[in-house]
Homo-oligomer: A and B are copies of this chain.
Amino acid sequence: MNTLPDIKTQFPEWYNQVIYKAELVDESPVRGSYVICPYGWSIWEHIKSYLDERIKITGHKNASFPLFIPESFLNKEAAHVEGFSPELAVVTYAGGKKLEEPLIVRPTSETIIHHMFARWIKSYRDLPLKINQWANVVRWELRPRPFLRTTEFFWQEGHTAHETYEQAQEEAELMMQEYVAMAHTILAIPVITGTKSEQEKFPGAIKTLTFEGVMQDGKALQMGTSHLLSQSFAHVFNMQFQDHTGAQAYPHLTSWGATSRLVGAVIMVHGDQKGLVLPPAIAPIQVVIIPITRKDTDTAKLKEYISTIEQRLTSKSIRTHIDDAEHKSPGAKFYEWELKGVPIRLEIGPRDMQNNSVTFATRIESEKHTTSANAIETFIGEKLQYIQEQMLTIAQEKRQALWHQAEKLNVFGPILAEQNGIYQTGWCQRPECEMKLKEYKATTRCVLSEKTHTQCFACDRPSISDVIVGKAY
């Protein structure tokens, strides 16, 4: 029977238990770091594989920069080091000796990559320079939560240099569009995009674009960001090039990243009382086959029948797993694979074999149906496609119910504090007003380009544009 905490009233406990029970992660002996188990890592690999292909198609090249960053590099950009210093892990001894200069385990690689960019960019012919890195990074977390906020996490970090401000802006926006497409296409998560406030933006950036997901408990999750760094880092690292006119100029920079936190988003957007619900595009197993036997079943024959069906599915690259463990009952298997969020379950017993059929249930609808085993690969392929699309629709509906229009903080603040939820409201864009959200444990999540609310949520000044306000992970 299901022993997960109530997803409606105990969401954090539900999350904490489901990730362990579904074998996504395990605790590690290093505080704030987690072991990502094969089932969890496979989800990340599928996200990575999709995103890596898109990053390459859009003209970026992968490279690798050192894990360690000399302490002096981080100190070069004042806002940058200030933003990261409480989170740093520092290597002070190596090779049996105290190091002359401590090395920082990278919390992000802007500084070391910009140091290299300064060597590589000599002429306008070297631009645009478009580099990406898949890496592990470390930020010392006081309150770690698996996938969402961990000391070591995994990401891609894109770093680009351009001749003009416009080109850099275009790049930052293009990659944000790619992230949104990824969220919709493979994660089945509808997101809200906009810019971060001055307070919430990346240390050292002049503009941060963000995409935010709304979790089932009504909290927002920042799922990834794209930064227009423009010329500040270029000045700091003395990155100069000869432009088309022959003059020396500073390039305009961007950086953008998405992390293993996306796995957390998928869990929190789609999960239900029975456990995970995984979008087919990133599910480690898309179809699980459970043999149903009785005492008089010809098991050798059934095995052969099941094997034929498996082969037809895998011939269409459908990720299929046969759970033929003999020490578990079919019921226990149903429970386990529901908990693990497998999109489609096939049950195949003697009657199916006789009728050349299979019995199936989808994770999102759960009623059992029977279908012919002829062209089963086409049928399941289409079903997976349907589930993928349906999951986005369901997630959109859930988000809609949590997304409120609001005018004044003193009205919506207390409700937000009590119930969570996302509030779209007007803002004068002054930090004083933003500060007032603290009382309700909320922050500005992103500034929209729309302007439907005329007045600031906190003061009587006119709104400059709408802003999304909410509590965040």
Contacts and interface: CB of A to CB of B under 8 A. Distances in A.
Size band of the A side of the interface? 35 or more
Q: Chain A binding site: helix, strand, loop or mixed by DSSP?
A: mixed
Contacts of A90: 91-94
A131 interface: yes
A105 interface: yes
Contacts of A112: 28-30
A65 B140 contact: no
Nearest to A139: B95
Interface in A22-78: 26, 28-30, 33-38, 41-42, 45, 61-70, 73
B28 A41 contact: no
A30 B125 contact: no
Interface in A132-158: 136, 138, 140, 142, 152, 154
Interface string A115-143: 11001100001000001000010101010
Interface in A308-326: 325
Nearest to A120: B26
A103 interface: yes
Contacts of A131: 38
A369 interface: no
A181 interface: no
A204 B473 CA distance: 43
Contact of A28 (B26, B29, B116): B116
Nearest to A86: B96
A115 to B, nearest CB: 6
A171 B226 CA distance: 45
A29 B91 contact: no
Nearest to A136: B67
A67 B125 contact: no
A373 interface: no
A85 interface: yes
Contacts of A140: 94-96
Contacts of A88: 93-96
A30 B74 CA distance: 13
Nearest to A36: B64
B42 A73 contact: no
Nearest to A154: B64
A178 interface: no
Interface centre among A65, A115, A136 (most CB of B within 10 A): A65
A107 B96 CA distance: 14
Contacts of A91: 89-92, 105
Contacts of A92: 90-93
Contact of A89 (B45, B63, B94): B94
Nearest to A325: B125
A102 B62 CA distance: 33
Contacts of A325: 125
A62 B38 contact: yes
Contact of A66 (B65, B66, B67, B152): B152
Contacts of A37: 63
Contacts of A42: 61-62
Nearest to A102: B93
Nearest to A135: B136
Contact of A26 (B86, B94, B116): B116
A122 to B, nearest CB: 13
A69 to B, nearest CB: 7
Contacts of A68: 30, 33, 89, 152
Contacts of A6: none
Task: Give the residue among A26, A89, A136 with the most B Cβ atoms within 10 A.
Answer: A89
11 contacts: A26-B116, A28-B65, A33-B66, A33-B67, A36-B64, A38-B62, A86-B95, A89-B93, A91-B92, A91-B105, A125-B327
- Cβ-closest 5 pairs across A and B: A95-B140, A38-B61, A33-B66, A36-B64, A89-B94
Given A89-B91, A95-B140, 12 more contacts: A26-B119, A28-B65, A28-B116, A38-B62, A68-B152, A86-B96, A88-B96, A89-B93, A90-B94, A91-B105, A92-B92, A105-B105
